[in-house]
Amino acid sequence: MRALVIAEHDNRHLKPATLAAAEAARQLGGGVDILVAGARCAAVAEAAAAIPGVETVLLADDAVFEQALAEPLADLIAGLAGGYDALLAAATAAGKNVMPRVAALLDVQQVSDIVAVVSPDTFVRPIYAGNALATVRSADAKKVITVRTTAFEAAAGSGAAAVKPVAAVADAGLSQFLERRVTESVRPELTSARVIVAGGRGIGSDGAFALVSQLADILGGAVGASRAAVDAGFIPNDAQVGQTGKIVAPDLYIAVGISGAIQHLAGMKDSKVIVAINKDGEAPIFQVADYGLVADVFEAVPALIDCLNR
Ligand SMILES: Cc1cc2nc3c(=O)[nH]c(=O)nc-3n(C[C@H](O)[C@H](O)[C@H](O)COP(=O)(O)OP(=O)(O)OC[C@H]3O[C@@H](n4cnc5c(N)ncnc54)[C@H](O)[C@@H]3O)c2cc1C
C-alpha cells in the first residue's frame, strides 16, 4: 500500500488541511508521499518534507500550476497514480474541486469526506448531513479519497522526507485563470481557528453583527455565521458554517442567536466546547451545547465583552 497526498498551499505556505490528509494516509498503513504542485513553491515542499511519516515529496514546480487550476492538476495526479494505491486530499474547496476529476480520469469511484480509516479499503464517512455515519468498502484498485480535516489530528513530531522533482504536464487549455478575489482578514481562518464566535438570525441586523465580531476579536477567534445570517446579508457567505458551508471543529464554538438546525450542527457539532446563547430555552442548539445561556444576545454579549475587557 502506497499513498500520495495532494498538498494544499498558496505557493508560499502549506495549508494545515494537508496535515490531516497526511495523517489519514499514514493510517492506511503503507508508505506516504506528498505532491506539491505549484510555481516557485520550494518553501512549501520544505514544509511538506517535515510532516512526520512522509517519505518523499514530489515537487512539480511549473507556471502551469501557479493558480492551482483543477484541470492540469488532475492530469498531473492521474499521471502519477500508477505508482500509488491511494490518492488523498483534504475535503476542502480545493480538494473537492480536483479529486472528482482525478477519480473520473482513473475511472474509479471517489470515497468522499472520510472521518476514519478502518482498513486500507474501508472507511467511515458521514451521510444525511452528518446524522449518520456509513462504513464503506471500496473495491476499486485505486482509492481516490477526500478527508474531513476536523476528523484527523496532525501527527506529532517532525520528518525529513526527500524532495524529488517531477515533470509538469502540458496545459490542455481547458481552463484559464482570470482573477482572484480574496477576502482579507486579520482574523484567523475559520477552518483552522481555535475559537469561533458565530452569529445567527437572532442577531437581527448587519450593524448588530459587530457584537459577534467584537467578541471574536477579544478571544482572538474567527467569525462564523448560520446560513440565515448570511442570507439576511449580515455577513458574507464565506463565514457560513454547516452542511453547505464550512466544517469546523475549534476548541471553543460560541453560537449566538443560532437555533441549531441540523444543517448548522452538521458543520460544528464536533467542536470541543460549545457555548450557546439563545433567548429560547427550547432551541435545539442547547442539545449539543456544553454550556448554555438562555438570554437575550443584546444583554449577554455586551456583558461578556465587558467582563473579558476588565
Ligand atoms: C439543503 C440545506 C442546506 C443548509 N445548509 C446550512 C448551512 O450550511 N448552515 C446553516 O447554518 N444553515 C443551513 N441551512 C439552513 C438551516 O436549515 C437553518 O435555516 C439555519 O441554520 C437557521 O439559522 P439561524 O439559526 O441563524 O436562524 P433561526 O433558525 O431563525 O434561529 C434564530 C435563533 O435566534 C434566537 N434569537 C432571536 N432573537 C434573539 C435574541 N435577541 N437573543 C437571543 N437569541 C435570539 C431565536 O430563539 C432562534 O433560536 C440549510 C438548509 C437546507 C435546506
pLDDT, tens digit, 9 for 90 and up, residues 121-177: 999 999 988 889 999 999 999 999 999 999 999 888 888 999 999 999 888 899 999
Torsion angle, alpha carbons of 201, 207, 209, 211, to 10: -130
CA of 275 to the centre of ligand 1 (A): 16
Across the beta sheet with 2-6, what order do the strands follow?
A: 111-114, 143-147, 86-90, 2-6, 31-38, 54-61, 162-165
The whole-model pTM stands at 0.87
- Rounded to 5°, the CA angle 251-255-260 comes to 115
What single-letter amino acid sits at 27? Q
CA of 260 to the centre of ligand 1 (A): 6
CA of 150 to the centre of ligand 1 (A): 22
Give percent of the chain with pLDDT exceeding 90. 91
- Rounded to 5°, the CA angle 185-68-31 comes to 105
Mind listing the domains of the chain with CATH numbers?
Answer: 3-165 (3.40.50.620), 190-309 (3.40.50.1220)
**C-beta of 256 in contact with ligand 1 (< 6 A):** no
pLDDT, tens digit, 9 for 90 and up, residues 207-219: 999 999 999 999 9
**C-beta of 259 in contact with ligand 1 (< 6 A):** yes
C-alpha cell at 289: 451545547
